[in-house]
Amino acid sequence: MIVLHTRRFALGIALASVLGLPAAAFAQAEQTVTIGHAGPLTGGAAHWGKDNDNGARLAVEDLNKQGLVIGGKKIKFVLQSEDDQADPKQAMLVANKLTDMGVKGVLGHFNSGAAIPASAVYSRAGLPNVSTATNPTFTRQGYDNVFRILASDDDVGAAIANFTVKDLKARKIAVIDDRTAYGQGAAEVFTRGVKALGGTVVAQEFGSDKATDFMAILTSIKAKQPDVVFYGGMDAQGGLIARQMKQLGITAKLLGTDGLCTNEVAKISGGAVDGLLYCTRGGKEIEKTPRGAEFEQRYKARFGVEVLTYAPYLYDAMMALAAGMREANSVEPAAYLPAMRKVKFEGVTGTIGFDAKGNLQKPDFTVFTYKDGKRVRVAGS
């Protein structure tokens, strides 16, 4: 049998030589499938973008080790990462670039302010677009190509609002946001939630996602004597707010959603977040999921750093695209996009499946505080 196969192979090589064909023509055909990833790879949010890129890259490497065969061809995935600088205009340029390149799917964008306008470009191209953008608008635009891989601001904002009023017993609330789609959206959901539960918003202020000095805003807020200060924005500003609250002697707790739930916020604050900050993040503690601890170990071994936040979600996002392709037995977006609605698997972050609008089904959330510069779970679904 082995001899027969060897003779057939030799005959194939000889025939290929006669016909002027490469010997590889008789091996299984391989198809390169390029997947786009877009996020902030430079600037103040670069640590988020790099973490996401690492998660997606690890998934691509794992898939390529599996030797997937789709549509009769062995698939080799390639990740094409582009820097949107967390800027909506740059995000549009990136979206058009990836579309023109002929990518078969897109992971990202990270920031809601970038993801929402870019999704229109991907929708026109019919490209499946899996994102961590939490602003509810991302999946409310009527596009059939968008998928959110974690809880939305509606889910997380409602959770932190409930925790604020029922667990912290807060009644007087001050709100600050960074005017981005993400930060403003999170603040609006939180504000609606605390009002519905009987809380009173005594101050509403805003800065920007590049602000560094919050002393004037916080001094004004201090005079209102709030029980809590909610910040809708990212860790770069959240850490500074924590530090400046401490400098001003503000005794109110600082609250936020996933943008503040990082190890970086503790470093930026100089330790001020300890016992001060409470933040809610979509999903369970990654180390508590069945595959989470293993993922963290492999991630650190591969990239030499700890998981920041969203790397495991980008890993699952890439696996979701691959699952859709398997379901449709095709890597072509027009064929596998409808199959994305049927995707169901146990990912690193939990059960992955999407509803009719592209939202993650039954999203989890976790509330954390900080002790000795580390996140500590205090509540969750």
Cα of 137 vs its chain's centroid, Å:
15
Over residues 285-313, the pLDDT tens digits come to 887 788 999 999 999 999 999 999 899 99
DSSP 17-52: HHHT--GGGGSPPEEEEEEEEEE--SSTTHHHHHHH
pLDDT at 3 over 80: no
CA distance 197 to 114: 32
What are the C-alpha distances in Å from 336 to residues 57, 70, 144?
Answer: 21, 11, 12
- Return the CA Rg of the chain: 23
pLDDT at 27 over 70: no
Helix, strand, coil percentages for the chain (3-state, nearest 5) = 45, 20, 30
pLDDT at 26 over 70: no
What are the C-alpha distances in Å from 287 to residues 45, 48, 227, 366?
Answer: 24, 19, 32, 12
Residue 142 pLDDT level (bands cut at 50, 70, 90): very high
Q: What is the pLDDT of residue 19?
A: 41
CA distance 59 to 222: 47
pLDDT at 152 over 50: yes
Q: Beta 374-380 vs 365-371: how paired, if at all?
A: antiparallel
Least confident of 26-30, 50-54, 143-147, 232-236: 26-30
pLDDT at 18 over 60: no
* Contact between residue 46 and residue 81 where contact means Cβ atoms under 8 Å apart: no
pLDDT at 186 over 60: yes
Residue 1 pLDDT level (bands cut at 50, 70, 90): very low
- Mean pLDDT over 187-216 rounds to 96
pLDDT at 7 over 80: no
pLDDT at 242 over 70: yes
Cβ neighbours, 10 Å, residue 66: 9
Q: Could you tell me what percent of the chain has a pLDDT over 70?
A: 92
pLDDT at 125 over 90: yes
Q: Label each residue of 244-259 as H, E or C.
A: HHHHHCCCCEEEECHH
Residue 25 pLDDT level (bands cut at 50, 70, 90): very low
Residue 380 pLDDT level (bands cut at 50, 70, 90): confident
Mean pLDDT taken over the chain = 91
What are the C-alpha distances in Å from 353 to residues 164, 205, 293, 360?
Answer: 30, 37, 22, 6
Which residues on adjacent β-strands are paired with residue 148? 131
Residue 12 pLDDT level (bands cut at 50, 70, 90): very low
Token duo for residue 124: 């026109």
Least confident of 3-7, 127-131, 251-255, 305-309: 3-7
Sign of CA dihedral 226, 227, 232, 237: positive
Over residues 52-110, the pLDDT tens digits come to 999 999 999 999 999 999 999 999 999 999 999 999 999 999 999 999 999 999 999 99
Instruction: Return the DSSP state at 379.
Output: E
Q: Where are the alpha helices (DSSP H) in 28-151?
A: 46-66, 88-101, 112-125
pLDDT at 199 over 60: yes
Q: What is the pLDDT of residue 289?
A: 87
Over residues 333-357, the pLDDT tens digits come to 999 999 999 999 999 999 999 999 9
Q: What is the pLDDT of residue 28?
A: 65
pLDDT at 133 over 60: yes
Q: What is the pLDDT of residue 4?
A: 31
CA distance 330 to 318: 15
Q: What is the pLDDT of residue 24?
A: 43
CA distance 168 to 215: 25
